[in-house]
């Protein structure tokens, strides 16, 4: 039977696990998924913020719960995914948004800093994806969305940074590039089993506090964007809703850049 185009975006009662969901972009994503009817599990290292976000979504009459998780810790990821499946009997979609950010210049970066960055941003993504896939494969359906970055595609331009700001760190971009290849690998590996895997590539979405703090850098950042401005958190959510929904039923192994054109030149 023909499904109306608008109904294909419906996420009514879909169980969606959002890892790193209490942050700037995660809050917008969790809210948007809930607004489309999903039952959202906000998972984050920052339990209080995850709880507050889930409460505020519920206060608006939608479905969300919070679960603490440390993406640097394998047992924590396994346990969190197990609880989600135990509580809801299935997992329909998973959005992975965690990362670790150092402020160290690449030439001074220690092995421990490099490895910790990789541990959260790349190994964490692998483990979240692996556990989500294990939960989805027996049902023959599911959608996994990993957050990469424009710095997984292009390098930061050192000339853009004033002396008091360290360029975006090397471990971050290398991990985010790895996430893109992992997405292709997982997508192909599970393509015939109904589990789709895709990536979001955000451009610059600075925190509101950093926008207020550093006018000069913000102007330079905006000037690098072909659209001439940075992104608002709400502008990221539509693509995540799409990828989690049946509207994207033939979409796997791909990337959606939401970057005002940053990676287009
Ligand atoms: N904001 C941007 O400009 C931008 C640009 C490119 C890519 N991204 C990507 O988008 C995603 C979301 O970024 P954001 O801007 O919302 O950042 P954010 O810092 O606001 O959110 C990240 C969330 O991950 C959580 N987190 C960090 N380490 C964790 C761990 N070990 N275990 C569990 N949770 C952990 C944090 O508590 C936080 O809530 C990230 O993957 C980031 O790399 C953001």
pLDDT in tens, 59-75: 999 999 999 999 999 99
Which pair of tokens denotes residue 72? Answer: 């640097």
Q: How far apart are CA 142 and CA 38, in angstroms?
A: 14
DSSP string, 182-235: HHHHHHHHHGGGTEEEEEEEE-----HHHHHH-HHHHHHHHHHSTTSSPPPTHH
Cβ of residue 46 lying under 6 Å from some atom of ligand 1:
yes
Q: How many domains does the chain have?
A: 1
Helix H or strand E segment including 112: helix 111-118
The residue to mutate among 22, 25, 149, 230, having the most atoms of ligand 1 within 8 angstroms of its beta carbon, is 25
Query: What CATH number should be reported for the domain holding residue 92?
Result: 3.40.50.720
Positions in the chain short of pLDDT 50: none
Helix H or strand E segment including 11: none
pLDDT at 103: 85
pLDDT at 117: 95
In a domain, 197, yes or no: yes
Q: Is 172 a catalytic residue?
A: yes
Which pair of tokens denotes residue 97? Answer: 């948004």
In a domain, 254, yes or no: yes
In a domain, 263, yes or no: no
Structural domain range at position 223: 5-258
pLDDT at 214: 83
In a domain, 264, yes or no: no
């Amino acid at each position: 039977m023909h499904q109306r185009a608008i109904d294909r975006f419906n996420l009514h009662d879909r169980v969606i696990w959002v890892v790193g969901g209490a942050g700037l972009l995660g809050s917008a994503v969790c809210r948007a998924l809930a607004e489309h009817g999903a039952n959202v599990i906000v998972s984050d290292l920052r339990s209080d913020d995850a709880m507050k976000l889930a409460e505020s979504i519920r206060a608006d009459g939608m479905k969300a719960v919070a679960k603490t998780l440390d993406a640097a810790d394998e047992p924590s990821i396994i346990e969190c995914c197990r609880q989600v499946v135990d509580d809801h009997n299935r997992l329909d979609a998973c959005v992975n948004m965690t990362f670790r950010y150092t402020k160290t210049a690449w030439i001074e970066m220690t092995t421990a800093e490099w490895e910790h960055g990789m541990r959260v941003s790349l190994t964490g993504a692998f483990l979240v994806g692996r556990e989500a896939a294990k939960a989805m494969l027996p049902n023959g359906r599911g959608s996994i969305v990993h957050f990469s970055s424009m710095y997984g595609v292009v390098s930061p331009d050192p000339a853009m940074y004033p002396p008091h700001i360290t360029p975006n760190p090397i471990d971050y971009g290398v991990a985010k590039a790895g996430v893109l290849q992992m997405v292709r690998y997982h997508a192909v590996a599970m393509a015939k089993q109904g589990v789709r895997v895709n990536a979001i590539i955000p451009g610059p979405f600075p925190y509101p506090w950093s926008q207020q703090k550093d006018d000069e850098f913000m102007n330079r950042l905006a000037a690098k964007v072909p659209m001439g401005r940075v992104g608002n958190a709400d502008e990221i959510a539509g693509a995540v809703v799409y990828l989690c929904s049946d509207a994207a039923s033939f979409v796997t192994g791909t990337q959606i850049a939401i970057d005002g054109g940053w990676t287009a030149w």
